[in-house]
Structure 1
Amino acid sequence: MEWIGAGSLLAWVWLVLGQGFFWRTDVRLPERRDPERWPSVAVVVPARDEAAVLPESLPSLLAQKYPGRAEVFLVDDGSTDGTGALARELAAGRGGLPLTVSVPGEPEAGWTGKLWAVRHGMALARERVGPEYFLLTDADIAHAPESLRELVAAARSADLDLVSQMARLRVATFWERLIVPAFVYFFGQLYPFRWVNRPRARTAAAAGGCVLLRAGAAERAGVPEAIRSAVIDDVALARAVKRGGGRVWLGLADRVDSVRPYPRAAELWRMVSRSAYAQLRHRPPLLLGTVMGLALVYLAPPVVLAAGLAGGDPVAAGLGGAAWALMCGTYLPMLRYYRRPPWTAPLLPFTALLYLLMTVDSAVQHYRGRGAAWKGRTYGAP
């Protein structure tokens, strides 16, 4: 127990100091100023069976207060719930940004449905607008009226090719409050925002719900064609842009929110497990290493503390308690960001156990031929 506790504590000391200060939540849009000329922007929204959330998200895009030319292109990716018709109804007589609704047909072999829709929307926007920037945003994302203006101003001011904000996810139900803050916390641990934002760092990532992409950078990187089979398309997009010499920025959002509800644990479970094994590149050794790492870093501290107290081993109890305290301390900023009480921080080991089980289930579903399933489509390893 003492050795396990020592290993866990050392891991946490390294994570706190050496993992890009991933636990801090102060990476927000960089300082920005209005450009002399506002560039044209095409907002591309891939949508598949999104009628339930569209009334909350689409009006926020149409109501953007953007000084330059901007148009919205919603791509109805084979919806069966009337998504396209609802989008037209929501835009009728409303004013604001122009809306075009199009249907690309079924994706060609080798393409994911979302990226096929994005490809179609970008091509259509080039014909109609010839945009200097694309705003790629999901159908469940609601934007504050100044969101587009702030994104473009940040990109222009810092000469960025890709600006992405991690939308604030919904935390209304018990399971959302338990799992969602940890989801963003773990994402930041995998892809520390400060590392992502360094031009020469190899780390690259984006949050697919809100990505402002310079059109020229998209052409240089060959996207979306170059990433057409990517299940985790936002990270693949950022990597492609960075490999092409583009500058990437990623941070937390203040005025961009996801309106998609996850009222039950099963829905959150599917959201995580559908892509967890793809994150590990479908490799069993990486899965084994991830399980062992999660166990040592997140599960061992409370177990070692309890074992030390029960067995009269103060050294083990102290090591386990210190590791758990560091864990909780790093989680507090994310809880504050999501307006959750600090007393929930000690629950992180339990949440991590759920994520461990989701990751294992993701691998099991992959080998059963049901991996990366989303809205009636299943994608195997590329």
Structure 2
Amino acid sequence: MSALAWTAVGSLAAWLWLLLCQGFFWRTDVRLPRREDPPRWPRVCVVVPARDEAPVLPLSLPSLLAQDYPGPAEIFLVDDGSSDGTGELARELARTHGGLPLTVASPGEPPAGWTGKLWAVRHGIRLARERAPEYLLLTDADIAHGPGSLRELVAAARTGGFDLVSLMARLRVRTGWERLVVPAFVYFFAQLYPFRRIAVDGARTAAAAGGCVLLRADAAERARVPDAIRHAVIDDVALGRAVKRAGGRIWLGLADRVDSVRPSPRLRDLWRMVARSAYAQLRHSLALLAGTVAGIVLVYLVPPVALAAGLAGGDPGAAVAGGLAWSLMAATYLPMLRYYGQPRWLAPLLPLTAFLYLLMTVDSAVQHHRGRGAAWKGRTYARPGAAVDEG
């Protein structure tokens, strides 16, 4: 066989392994686990870090204020140095809509060594602890919750004995670029952190989705959250790891009624979302970057190239192996497209999306080595950390 055919066989073998041995990452049936109403509903404090969120707050905050929760609950929105009136808008929405009590506070600029979001979360948790809550709901300012979201999260945590229950919010998918990039973002995340493995006690796989995390207050103290992860740009993964390392039981799955309302209509918006943290995910290692690029090329780009080159050059081995690998790739992507209500014909375009992610990852590394680091909402973190601080 030709070198191209052997490479295509390697890609096919990789897809067979991913299909059968990577925690069935491609399945989208990991939803909130079995839950029963507890005899007593515990006190919950909701912490919402917000920086320049005035455009999305009218779509998200009312959904938190209107939560149908049988126990005591209140909201702490932490205005992280906004310049667009986020804090005052939040107060006005609370006056207009009523519902759960809302406190708006501001911690000031983060000190060296802290990301802005985690500094805001720290301030919110400190305020919440004055109420002695049993649970904390950490949720982003762009996340809209169904009326029973908080109730379902608490019931799932109590029934399953979980210290952390997190839902991967359904991201907005309306424009052409969002259709091409967004479902793949969740697909790739699940491939790296298979949801089924996260819930297995003793398994090394750990992660959370930062948009919606219900966390036991005592588990946060044991894990020293957020102080232990204060450097983390990918704070949700670091949070899940910190809680699990401290002996906590965690669960992560896909949401049904928790949605992101943040629009990312242009490729530039989506590019910035991925590139700001991609190199941090690789621990700023050129070796890991090279391995990632090679892996993306082998797994996602070789199959269509081998099929096309094999058909054009009379190489049946390359064509067959490439075609089978591409078919498996598309088949594993279909469940995620169905979850997002997208057409099936997008599945064969996954190699194109993977190539875009490859470029975003390389750009993330280039920006880091130029000294720009991760940039978000007017702040730049020159050397962000993706791992838990063991100090």
TM-score bracket relative to the smaller structure? over 0.9
Which of 270, 294, 316 does residue 268 from structure 1 map onto? 270
Report the AA paired with residue 361 of structure 1. D
Which of 299, 302, 320 does residue 300 from structure 1 map onto? 302
CA RMSD between the two structures: 0.6
Is 2:94 aligned against 1:91?
yes
Which of 133, 136, 143 does residue 135 from structure 2 map onto? 133
1:369 is displaced (CA, Å) by 1.4
Which of 87, 105, 108 does residue 108 from structure 2 map onto? 105
Which of 27, 34, 57 does residue 54 from structure 1 map onto? 57
CA displacement 1:258-295 (0-9 Å, x = unmatched): 00000110000000000000000000000000000000
Write out aligned runs for 1:22-101 (5 A).
22-101=25-104
Write out aligned runs for 1:214-233 (5 A).
214-233=216-235
How far apart, CA to CA, are the structure 2 residues paired with 1:316 and 1:157? 51
Secondary structure of the equivalent of 2:97? coil
Report the AA paired with residue 151 of structure 1. L
Secondary structure of the equivalent of 1:249? strand
Moved over 2 A (4+): none
Identify the residue that residue 2 of structure 1 maps to in structure 2.
5
TM-score, structure 1 as length reference: 0.99
Identify the residue that residue 127 of structure 2 maps to in structure 1.
124
1:93 is displaced (CA, Å) by 4.1
Identify the residue that residue 359 of structure 2 maps to in structure 1.
357
Segments of structure 1 that go 5 or more residues without pairing to the other structure are: none
Is 2:148 aligned against 1:180?
no
Report the AA paired with residue 266 of structure 1. R
Report the AA paired with residue 70 of structure 1. A
Secondary structure of the equivalent of 1:92? helix
Aligned residues: 381
Report the AA paired with residue 33 of structure 2. P
How far apart, CA to CA, are the structure 2 residues paired with 1:197 and 1:159? 11
Write out aligned runs for 1:247-326 (5 A).
247-326=249-328
1:130 is displaced (CA, Å) by 1.1
Identify the residue that residue 389 of structure 2 maps to in structure 1.
none
How far apart, CA to CA, are the structure 2 residues paired with 1:379 and 1:248? 29
How far apart, CA to CA, are the structure 2 residues paired with 1:55 and 1:262? 17
TM-score, structure 2 as length reference: 0.97
How far apart, CA to CA, are the structure 2 residues paired with 1:32 and 1:188? 23
How far apart, CA to CA, are the structure 2 residues paired with 1:94 and 1:264? 32
How far apart, CA to CA, are the structure 1 residues paired with 2:356 and 2:315? 29
Report the AA paired with residue 53 of structure 1. V
Secondary structure of the equivalent of 2:264? coil
CA displacement 1:303-341 (0-9 Å, x = unmatched): 000010000111110000000000000000000000011
How far apart, CA to CA, are the structure 2 residues paired with 1:108 and 1:81? 22
Write out aligned runs for 1:362-373 (5 A).
362-373=364-375
Identify the residue that residue 340 of structure 2 maps to in structure 1.
338
